[in-house]
A and B are shown apart, each in its own frame.
Chain A
Amino acid sequence: MAASSVGASKKPYGKTMIFGIVSVALYAALLINQDSVTAYFSKGGVYAFLPIIMAFIFSFVHGNFTGYFWTSLGVEASKKKKEGN
């Protein structure tokens, strides 16, 4: 078991970098264009789907980034409990 957990401890630096860059780019795009983005996103009616879609996109990209970020730092779930499940 110990050997497998040592093998599994390879850090996902590449994925962290990729998702990190995309996440920063998304946030930069949002903040640089905040005037037009907020104007369209607060129009109401069917435009309501815009903030919802954006929230899903950001949660996918930034969610992956933050997940890989902690793994890269070595902050992972307890192995003991994982095996118990």
Chain B
Amino acid sequence: MPEIASNFINLDFMTAAYLFIVGFVGGLVSGFIGSGGAFVLTPGMMSLGVPGLVAVASNMCHKFPKALVGAMKRAKYGQVDVKLGLVLGVSAEAGVLYGAHIQENIKKAFGDAGSNLYVSVAFVVVLAVVGGFVLRDALKTYKSGATNEEEKVTKIAKWVQSINIPGTMIYFKSINAKVSFLFTIPLGFATGMLAATIAVGGFVGVPSMIYVLGAPSLMASATELVIAFVMGLGGSLKYAWGGLVDIRLAMIILAGSLFGIQLGAIGTTYVKPFMIKLVMGLIMVIVLFSRALMVPVYLAQLGLISEISEITVKVLKNTSFAIMIFALVLGAFIVLKAMWQGRRAERLATKEVLSH
């Protein structure tokens, strides 16, 4: 009888329950903002003893079927721009391959610590710039009281839409305008590169669709699921080709995440668009602190700063992981609360109409 591959862990009930729950919360957030969850799942699996590459591969293999189910659900609500998702998805796939190539080279030149430092710095820089911008925009909308008004198209998006490069123009329904694919290629590529580096391409994909292309938040977050499907399918095939996917882990996470993604997708029909930005911005900024905590550890491992004691490293690692889980749980809490309030308001409104 064949044995379980040597780099795959033994699966007990507690491990399965843990993966199911993290999968559920990750799915809930993904269904709402189009991505997320992966940044907790990969380190979460590694903390169970799963080797890094198997964790990345198995995470990827749960991501594409999850994104498919989420995209189909949100397409029912008219929120998905399939064409934009596919166009961005193809260039994202190229970004994933290039990002993975850079990762391999860094690992070869500077070892694991160098690779980890690169990932953490990418996390911190991207999340500080993009996350800070998204969160500031969401809070500005909230404070102005204009939460019910239609989202304004940014100046840069208006400029992008005004540029006409013959032979490259594509009409996108989410933007309701023609945009040159010469603009979508770098955006998709950056999304893919980020996905290959920090596992969550959506942190660039969704904001770029909103702020650079001019898509509404709801459609951008839903369309990101199409991009995640394309990237995840290609990535899974690549990793499975090398025999790195632990299908048991992938399917157990999928079991939880499909419950979550359905709920997250339903949640988007009850909230105002700025909520998507708020949840995304909050998660990004909190995760930024989580990764920033680890930077000194990797710097010390590379000998760039003086050595850090083992106990301090352990405390930093655990705190970093706890902050990441907090980010995800907070995101899930906001989604559920907003959905609960939306449902209650709708029920009261229906009752009022019926009583009149």
A residues whose Cβ falls under 8 Å from a Cβ of B: 2, 27, 30-31, 34-45, 47-52, 54-56, 58-59, 62-63, 65-67, 69-70, 75-82, 85
In the complex, the 9 A-B pairs of residues with the closest C-beta atoms, listed nearest first: A39-B2, A59-B65, A44-B243, A48-B240, A63-B69, A85-B78, A78-B269, A77-B269, A42-B243
Whether the Cβ atoms of A81 and B269 lie closer than 8 Å is: yes
**Could you name 16 residue pairs across A and B whose Cβ atoms are closer than 8 Å?**
A2-B354, A34-B248, A38-B4, A38-B5, A41-B240, A44-B242, A45-B241, A51-B250, A56-B68, A59-B65, A59-B258, A69-B262, A70-B259, A70-B266, A77-B76, A78-B346
Whether the Cβ atoms of A55 and B236 lie closer than 8 Å is: yes
Whether the Cβ atoms of B1 and A35 lie closer than 8 Å is: yes
Question: Chain B interface secondary structure, helix, strand, loop or mixed?
Answer: helix
Residue of A nearest to B239 (CB): A48
Question: In the complex, what distance in Å separates the CA atom of A81 from the CA atom of B2?
Answer: 53
Query: B21 within 8 Å of A by Cβ?
Result: no
Chain B nearest CB, measured from A41 CB (Å)? 5
Chain A nearest CB, measured from B182 CB (Å)? 31
Whether the Cβ atoms of A58 and B346 lie closer than 8 Å is: no
Specify which chain A residues have a CB less than 8 angstroms from the CB of B346 in the assembled complex.
78-80
Whether the Cβ atoms of B350 and A2 lie closer than 8 Å is: yes
A-B contact count (CB 8 A): 140
Residue of B nearest to A63 (CB): B69
Q: Report, as a range, how many residues of chain B touch the other chain.
A: 35 or more
- Which listed residue (A40, A41, A55, A76) contacts B266, Cβ 8 A? A76
Docked complex: B98-133 residues within 8 A CB-CB of A: none
Whether the Cβ atoms of A52 and B233 lie closer than 8 Å is: yes
- Which listed residue (B3, B62, B64, B68) contacts A35, Cβ 8 A? B3
Chain A nearest CB, measured from B189 CB (Å)? 24
Specify which chain B residues have a CB less than 8 angstroms from the CB of A85 in the assembled complex.
77-78
Question: In the complex, what distance in Å separates the CA atom of A58 from the CA atom of B62?
Answer: 10
Question: In the complex, what distance in Å separates the CA atom of A46 from the CA atom of B3?
Answer: 20
Question: In the complex, what distance in Å separates the CA atom of A70 from the CA atom of B27?
Answer: 14
Question: In the complex, what distance in Å separates the CA atom of A35 from the CA atom of B236?
Answer: 21
Question: In the complex, what distance in Å separates the CA atom of A29 from the CA atom of B1?
Answer: 16
Residue of A nearest to B7 (CB): A42
